[in-house]
Every structure is written in C-alpha cells, then in structure tokens.
Amino acid sequence: MNRDLMNAMRSLESLWGFPDGPMALLRRGKISDEAVEQVVSALESLELPRDARELDRLMVALLWNLPLFVEHQKERVLENGGDELLYQRLRGRTFEEVERLLGLGHVDHDVGQWFGNEP
C-alpha cells in the first residue's frame, strides 16, 4: 500500500479515536461545529486513485461505515439536546464525500433490467 493511502487510513481511524474523536463523541450523542469540521475536512482531503482496481479492505470499511454510523446516531444527538441542523450537515456532507470517494459505480447498461423493467 502506498504512503498516501496509509496516511488517509490513519486520518480516518483518528475520527473514531476514543474518547475525543468526533465519531466517539457522536456515539455519546455529542456534536459540535469543530467535530463536524474535523470529519468533513478529513474526508475532503482524501483522494483515492481513480485507476485503482482494488482498495484496502480497512479503507473501504472505514469509509463505508462512516455515513451508516452517522445515520444511526440522530436519536442520541437529539436526546442529548444536540443541534439538529448541525447533525443534518454532518450527515449530508459525510454521505456526499463518501460517494465522491467510492463513487456510485459506472453502469454501461440500463439499470431497469436488474429489476425486470426492460426498456
């Protein structure tokens, strides 16, 4: 694995760091402007090689699980008096950046055929 990807993985892992990483705080229902900025900045700074056929499993797991985890913390945040608009910003930006990094995939045929809806 190249140095850039290793640094990217370390950056993502630090978001989960206990007790003060933004994801550890979110797990406890705490959200702040600084935590949101830390997550968004970490994701915005990542660039994955577009020509890569494979990515490290840990990298994919760290990215894939981030928006799913954020999605499931809304109730905790609101129960703890957290700012719903700030939570929504974190949620939206996390999904956007992970989508940018992992992409939606490229399909050269009609997706409708997967669901029995022939064109």
pLDDT in tens, the chain (119 residues): 678 778 888 888 999 999 999 999 999 999 999 999 999 999 998 887 777 677 788 888 889 999 999 999 999 999 999 999 999 999 999 999 999 988 865 444 444 444 454 44
- The answer to whether 49 and 56 are in contact (CB under 8 A) is no
Q: In the Cβ-directed half-sphere of 10, how many Cα atoms lie within 13 Å?
A: 7
**Total count of domains within the chain:** 1
**Are 118 and 112 a contacting pair, CB within 8 Å?**
yes
In this prediction, residue 50 carries a pLDDT of 72
- Whether residue 13 lies inside any domain: the answer is yes
Which residues, including other chains, have CB under 8 Å from residue 44's CB and lie 6 or more apart? 97
Any domain includes 73: yes
* 100 located within any domain: yes
Domain around 60: 3-104
Q: What pTM, to 2 d.p., does this model score?
A: 0.80
